[in-house]
Amino acid sequence: MSPQADTASHDAAPRNDAPHDAAPGEGSPSGTAPQGSGSAETAEQRPEPTVITVGDGGGSGGQELGYEVVIGNGLLGRLPQMIGAQAERVLVIHPRALRATGDVVRQDLENAGYKAVVAEIPDAEEGKHIQVAAFCWQVLGQNDFTRSDAVVAVGGGAVTDVAGFVAATWLRGVRVVHMPTTLLAMVDAAVGGKTGINTAEGKNLVGAFHQPAAVLADLDTLLTLPRNELVAGLAEVVKCGFIADERILEIIESSPEQAQNPHSPQLRELIERSIRVKASVVSEDPKDFGTRESLNYGHTLAHAIELAERYQWRHGAAVSVGMVFAAELARSLGRLDDATADRHHAVLTSLGLPVTYRDDRWNQLLEGIRRDKKNRGDQLRFVLLSGQGQPATVEIPDASILFATYQEIGESDEGSPVSL
């Protein structure tokens, strides 16, 4: 089955095929988004949405900082106001797994007076392909999208990545609103304006910075998210705890079970705290020139693992292993105390996240590490901690140091991450 496009009008155009096909992968965003702007639950029964502002304004069209991340329940009805009155056409990009949700969003937009077009793309990392982006550009062109029109991303992190890239490159930039439906997308991918697609050489090597006009994090989508997807997303939450907000770690340590419960106030607090961490960092360094590199904690090895596994591992599982590797590397360099290094293992395992990786892939992983975007010339660079909440980018002069650290996390078989 190939990517498909459809419109909301009664004389809808024939579905268009693009030359790319893939089955849902390990990272498939299987959560179900809100079914329309109405709900059996009354507004009085819901906590008020939390609004976090990224940056301090001054921009327009989603190109600059100063946008809102809205966190709450039943947020679909807010979508038209986030898109704005200047748009006439809206492209809704969603994965196959969320076809019903995409139709609901399209209908709501049509009811609000927009001409809505739907582009269905492959699930998970298979959707982050240049041919998928080209298919979306084709749909935009065939439907006469202008700079005043908008794109809406409905799905997990892979969808917000590719939809953001499409929005960044169409006519050199149109508005994009993200509606993340996975925990990982809510706390990481949808916030901050990083967009990208994968190539055979590595993950996110082609992309652009393009801030969204708004992010709607509807917590209702987590109620039907498979547990392993939720757990994988918690890796990015833990990351925010180690690089900035220790209270995140304390909440998880006090009750790992409640941290995994989509109904719990603890998970909502974890989400809000994680988004605040990212919003603060992005507001200070929107284009990754300095402090924003801290958000890549655990990601250097993680991206190499994902490449080695042909993107069949969930991103969060790889980040979990990557953080343990980074902690062990910092300990071996004398930068990190034993208690903080050991805390990585304890917190991550309490959530059921992997902390080891097979020990027969080092050469393949090193090749991926050498392609990491943080590197400068031949110099390998890792984000490491020198203490709780104290990240810094460190140059590694000798790859043998990395290999020695890898022995600390390696195991003889493929281990638990594959089943996560």
Q: Residue 349 annotated as binding?
A: no
Domains of the chain from N-terminus onward: 4-224 (3.40.50.1970), 228-260+273-419 (1.20.1090.10)
pLDDT at position 377 is 78
Q: Are 273 and 247 in contact (CB under 8 A)?
A: yes
Residue 158 assigned ligand-binding role: yes
Q: How far is CA 172 from CA 18, 116, 141, 148, 286, in A?
A: 22, 21, 13, 12, 18
Angle at 234 between CA 228 and CA 236, to 5 degrees: 125
Strand partners, 331: none
The pair of structure tokens assigned to 103 is 């139709």
pLDDT at residue number 2: 57
Decide if pLDDT at 221 tops 70: yes
Known binding residue 125? Answer is: yes
Is 126 annotated as contributing to ligand binding? yes
Binding residue per annotation — 182? yes
Q: Is 225 annotated as a binding residue?
A: no
Does 103 carry a binding-site annotation?
no
Q: How far apart are the first and last CA of the chain?
A: 26
- Burial tier of 269 (Cβ tally within 10 Å: 0-12, 13-18, 19+): middle
**What's residue 50's pLDDT?**
98
Q: Is 223 annotated as a binding residue?
A: yes
Query: What does the pLDDT average to over 400-409?
Result: 94
Strands 67-72 and 50-54: antiparallel
Question: What is the tens place of the pLDDT at every residue in 35-68?
Answer: 444 444 555 577 899 999 998 643 333 346 789 9
- Which residue type, as a one-letter code, is found at position 276? R
Least reliable range by pLDDT among 79-93, 147-161, 402-416: 402-416
Alpha helices (H) along 45-126: 79-83, 99-111
Q: Is the pTM of this model over 0.95?
A: no
* Tens digit of each residue's pLDDT (9 = 90 or more) over 385-395: 999 999 999 99
50 is in an annotated binding site: no
181 is in an annotated binding site: yes
Which region among 144-153, 186-195, 322-331, 407-416 has the lowest average model confidence (pLDDT)? 407-416
pLDDT of residue 26: 33
E strand segments, 14-114: 50-54, 67-72, 89-95
- Per residue, the 3-state secondary structure of 286-316, as one string, reads CCCCCHHHHHHCCHHHHHHHHHHCCCCCCHH
